[in-house]
Structure 1
Amino acid sequence: MSKPVVAITRPKDRAQKACEIVEKLGGKAFLAPTLDLKPVNTDSLKELVKRKDELDWIIFTSPTTIVSLNKFYPDFIKTLNCKLAVIGNKTGKLAEKQGLSVDLMPDDFTAEGLIEEFKKRNITGKTIGIPRTASARAVLPEELKKLGNTVILAEAYKSLFPMDEKAVKDLISKIENKEIDAITFTSPLTVENFFEIVDDKEKMAKLLSENLLTVSIGPITAKVLDKYGIAYIYPDTYTVPDMMELLFKTLNEKSNR
């Protein structure tokens, strides 16, 4: 049997691990980023850095936040004197590499999971910094404010439309020609941007449901797939390794039927 071809739609600078896992599990990765990330030094980020000593908590929701802070303010992370919450193993590991201790990481790697942990601990009346992308969902800052906290929201990076549109069009062509066995989506924007480039959205949704295996990293991304009427699976733990394990397990089960 030939190696299954798995499409990776992650931003290029965050796709290497996913591609390596695909190869390790016996597949062939096809990289077509439907999202690009660009660190930016915005006024809101400058304001957060200026108010660093007011912070009781800071929340890192992705590794790109840390990359951006290190790029523009190399001393910021080293001199943080507050508690740290993170979403996801990868973000936590990168923070620890910077010499930080992670005080809170929810088992459910979503904003909702983190909010639940803040509620359980009755964290209220605190000043919380959240550097992230401006296109992120509003649920995290809104719910933390409802708990009686002050939130300093800062744009640390931009989520951009894919810069290599040709790669995405190549992916669309390969899907139509049945050259892709599975496709993975790791954020709502990876789905939205993909369908922005697709001409016949209904036809593509049918192909993703019937001709290949569509895998979401978790329930938040899955909601966007629901919007397009696409059949999908996602793992119990919302990480790239767990997503790939589930993908290959499912493909193997299908081939053994």
Structure 2
Amino acid sequence: MTTDRARPAPNPAGGTLSGADVVLLRTPDRAGPMAAELRARGARVRLLPLIDFQLPADTSPVSAGLQELGEGAFDWIILTSATTVRALHRFAADSGRTLAQLTSGTRVAAVGAATRQALAGKGIDADLVPEADQSARGLAAAWPAPGTGRNRLLLPQADIADPFLRTTLADAGWEVSAVTAYQTVDYPAPEELRLEPGAAVSGPGSSPAQAAHTQLSPEQYRSFAVACRSGDAPAPHAVVATSPSTARRFVRDTLVPDAAVLVAIGDPTARQLLELGHPPEATATEPTPAGIADAVEAALDAHRISHSPRPEGKTSK
């Protein structure tokens, strides 16, 4: 089920998600806007970070790619996530230049609103962002045909990135230079390798906003989920999977069957959950805080309807 509806009016209890428990599969530094939107609607928010990001084992390919970028060797650069923007910002700083300087004169594509916003924070305006389907498939569908020039593009991605975008654009006639900008690892990454040292760890050095988050370990989450399933805590709770990799790790390491209502941040994550045998109850139409909160509302509403008593005293499935 994909949500595409107006936000309902707040209920008298204080919000459309008043009293609901929502678990976000994100680190504190990346959960802020999403958590704030859910709390504004009355939800109790917990964080369950399962993945982290670190420097690639070999940094020479991305460094070489950025050097070529700064020399104007590419027609386009494609950014497929805000994390990619953060990684390239770090590599650019190490080279003594800014990412905005390196992309000057090169057209920039962003996979969606979050990536465009991350680019804007670095002083870069995206030339192409898919409107409806903000995913690799949406970007490929919106991609221009090759022209009469060199048709070269730089595609920095995670080490576990789906090859779809690279192969689709190459098949269309583009010369694609794909480089690994960062690695996705189990949380937490070693401090010396983390893209943003200290950012994902709550403590004396964390910001007040990060410190306010309730963060769970996988063991703590499982205890919480078992309590929800047994009726010892409010049930159900929603779990928001924020990427295919978080979905895989959640199902592999922390899922408690029949304890949570699953919500996907977008279609790629929904497809991954479906392939894992745990389809989401709802999928956000946009990977924005409001879109995700709408999906959580829809998922919990659908769960309540499907489990409400029938007139004859039975429950529907």
Q: Do they superpose with TM above 0.5? A: yes
Structure 2 CA distance for partners of 1:229 and 1:222, relative to 1, 3 Å: same
In percent, how many aligned pairs have the same letter? 23
Structure 2: segments with no counterpart, 5+ residues: 1-12, 190-214, 309-317
1:116 aligns with 2:173: no
Report the number of matched residues: 247
Structure 1 length-normalised TM: 0.87
- The 5-angstrom pairing of residues 1-257 of structure 1 reads 3-40=19-56, 42-52=59-69, 53-74=72-93, 75-79=97-101, 80=103, 81-107=105-131, 108-118=133-143, 121-123=144-146, 125-163=150-188, 167-178=217-228, 179=233, 181-198=237-254, 204=256, 206-207=257-258, 211-232=259-280, 233-251=282-300
Q: Secondary structure at the match of 1:54?
A: coil
> Shift of the alpha carbon at 1:162?
2.0
Query: CA–CA distance in 2 between the matches of 1:12 and 1:38?
Result: 16
Q: Contact between 2:251 and 2:276, CA under 8 Å: does it hold in 1? A: no
Query: CA offsets per residue over residues 76-131 of structure 1, 9 Å max, x none?
Result: 4222220010011111012123222211000211101000011xx32355111111
State which drifts further: 121-130 or 213-222. Answer: 121-130
**C-alpha spacing 1:71/1:8, structure 2 compared with 1 (3 Å):** same
8 A Cα contact 1:127 1:152, kept in partner: yes
What amino acid sits opposite 2:51 in the alignment?
L
Read off the aligned partner of 1:242 and give its amino acid letter. G
| Distance in 1 separating the partners of 2:275 and 2:302 | 27
Paired letter, 2:296: L
How far did residue 17 of structure 1 move? 1.8
TM superposition shift of 1:70 = 1.7
Q: How large is the RMSD of aligned CA atoms in angstroms?
A: 2.4
Q: Give the corresponding residue for 2:198.
A: none
Specify the SS of the correspondent of 1:105.
coil
Secondary structure at 2:240 match in 1? strand
**Contact in 1 for aligned 2:47/2:216 (Cα 8 Å):** no
Q: Deviation string for 1:133-182 (max 9, x for gaps)? A: 11110001111101111111121111111229971221122112114611
CA contact (8 A) 1:88 1:239 kept: no
Residue 47 of structure 1: how far off its partner (Å): 1.5
Preserved CA contact (<8 Å) 2:34 2:288: no
Q: Which moved more, 1:125-134 or 1:157-166?
A: 157-166
* Separation of aligned partners in 1, 2:250 and 2:303: 26
Distance 1:249 1:196, change over 3 A: closer
Say if 1:185 and 1:221, in contact at 8 Å, map to a contact too: yes
8 Å contact kept, 2:35–2:45? yes
Larger Rg: 2
Q: What is the Cα deviation at residue 194 of structure 1?
A: 1.8
The code of the aligned residue for 2:40 comes to: K
- TM-score, structure 2 as length reference: 0.71
CA pair 253-187 structure 1, distance change in 2 beyond 3 A: closer
Cα distance in structure 2, aligned partners of 1:39 and 1:128: 22
For 2:38, what is the secondary structure of its paired residue?
helix
Equivalent pair of 1:217/1:240 in contact (CA under 8 Å): no
- Residues 162, 193 of structure 1: 8 Å contact kept: no
